[in-house]
């Protein structure tokens, strides 16, 4: 089984991204990112899946997830209001995620298991 870390990002206009940091091999820190976007403004019945590349380490992958989500949500006229790790923080802990959030000037606190 390939280990993943799930990160859910919510907006004030109904958009949600559910993303995974994927680390296929514990001996190698190269991390993949996949995102599912639920956007009722685009289509209320379906979601869109996309990968956003490979990154040097899980922290860079997490940064890509949060940055992608922020840009997508802002382009749709919304703002990010919540970030939750529903299962765990296997690769990028809450404090490291909070540092990314602060760098991107998002006014929120990263949650774990909420």
pTM strictly above 0.75: yes
pLDDT, residue 88, reads 85
Residue 103 pLDDT: 95
Residue 14's pLDDT is 94
Identify the segments of the chain with pLDDT beneath 70.
none
Using an 8 Å Cβ cutoff, are 87 and 4 in contact?
A: no
What is the structure's pLDDT at 49? 84
pLDDT at 7: 96
pLDDT value of residue 52: 86
**Residue ranges covered by each domain of the chain:** 4-112
């Amino acid at each position: 089984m390939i280990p993943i870390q799930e990160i859910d990002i919510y907006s004030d206009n109904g958009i949600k991204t559910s993303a995974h940091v994927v680390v296929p091999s514990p001996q190698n820190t190269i991390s993949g990112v996949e995102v599912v976007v639920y956007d009722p403004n685009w289509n209320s019945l379906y979601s869109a899946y996309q990968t956003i590349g490979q990154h040097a380490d899980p922290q860079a992958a997490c940064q890509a997830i949060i940055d992608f989500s922020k840009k997508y949500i802002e382009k749709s006229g919304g703002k990010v209001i919540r970030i939750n790790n529903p299962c765990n923080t296997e690769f990028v802990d809450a404090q490291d995620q909070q540092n990314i959030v602060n760098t991107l000037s998002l006014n929120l606190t990263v949650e774990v298991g909420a």
